[in-house]
Amino acid sequence: MWLARPYNYTHTLDAFEPLMLVIFQHTVSPQCSLFKNCAAELRNLQGYFISHYDYDIPYNFLVGNDGRVYEGRGWNIEGAHTFGYNRCSIGIGFIGDYRGEIESHASVTKAQLNRTRMLLEEGVRLGHLRKDFLVIGANYLGPTASPGSILNNALKQWPNYDHKNRFYKLNCEKMEEKFGNTTLY
């Protein structure tokens, strides 16, 4: 839909499905509110990651300010979004820069939040996510400012936000061992 370049993926998320964790980031790129601008920004991001890191867009899905959801790697493919958590989580990147301390920061829209919830509900319906999955910003799992204070504050209002930060310093196997058979909330 956004004219992505083809890319061969080799690692799937099957070993840990249904997944218990969704990690949010921001792209630290210009925000977009029109399809043509978002598609162009996604192509720019893809080109950057392929030329600098030799891999495709790191996120499983991305969300523009207009609320459109764009497929990056999709449900079944391991992301490259959060070191140590890629094999057992879905990474969602909000297009824009959501750091409140910068003057030209992006704002989180209701459309973005609503469509993201719809995407995650579909993930549960399809069996990719547990019914009691948790969401968290990448900055609570490693050294990054992503997804920015503005997006983090919006996510903290969700009932399934991981306020306890229970996944910090756990690898995928430890997460499964500790929480695989327990209800998360």
26-71 pLDDT, tens digit per residue, is: 999 999 999 999 999 999 999 898 899 888 899 999 999 989 999 9
pLDDT surpasses 60 at 3: no
Write the pLDDT tens digit of every residue in 119-133.
999 999 999 999 999
Q: Whole domain around residue 111: which residue ranges? A: 22-179
Residue 3 or 167, more confident: 167
Grouping H, G, I as helix, E, B as strand and the rest as coil, residue 178 is helix
Largest CA distance in the chain: 45
Q: How many structural domains compose the chain?
A: 1
Q: Answer whether residue 89 is part of any domain.
A: yes
Q: How far apart are CA 103 and CA 63, in angstroms?
A: 21
Mean pLDDT of all residues in 161-178: 94
Instruction: Kindly state the tokens that stand for 170.
Output: 């756990």
CA dihedral (168, 174, 176, 179) positive or negative? negative
Is residue 102 assigned to a domain? Answer: yes
Report yes or no on 9 lying in a domain.
Answer: no
What pLDDT does residue 11 have? Answer: 75
**Residue 184: inside a domain:** no
Task: Give the CATH number, domain containing residue 111.
Answer: 3.40.80.10
Does any domain span residue 1?
Answer: no
17 belongs to a structural domain: no
Task: Determine what percent of the chain is predicted with pLDDT higher than 90.
Answer: 75
**pTM score > 0.85 for this model?**
yes
Least reliable range by pLDDT among 4-13, 16-25, 157-166: 4-13
pLDDT score, position 83: 93
Select from 123, 109, 121 the least CA-distant residue to 60.
123
What is the amino acid identity at position 115? R
Q: How many angstroms separate the Cα of 40 from the Cα of each of 8, 16, 25, 44?
A: 21, 33, 19, 6
CA distance 185 to 166: 12
Reading the block at residue 114, the tokens are: 């609503």
The span from the CA of 53 to the CA of 77, in Å, is 17
pLDDT score, position 168: 94
32 within 8 A of 41, measured Cβ to Cβ: yes
Q: For residue 142, what pLDDT band results from cuts at 50, 70 and 90? A: very high
User: Is 13 a member of any domain?
Assistant: no
Residue 5 covered by a domain:
no
pLDDT recorded at residue 105 = 86
- The arithmetic mean of pLDDT across residues 86-106, rounded, is 93
Using CB atoms within 10 Å of the CB of residue 3, give its burial: 0 to 12 exposed, 13 to 18 middle, 19+ buried. Answer: exposed
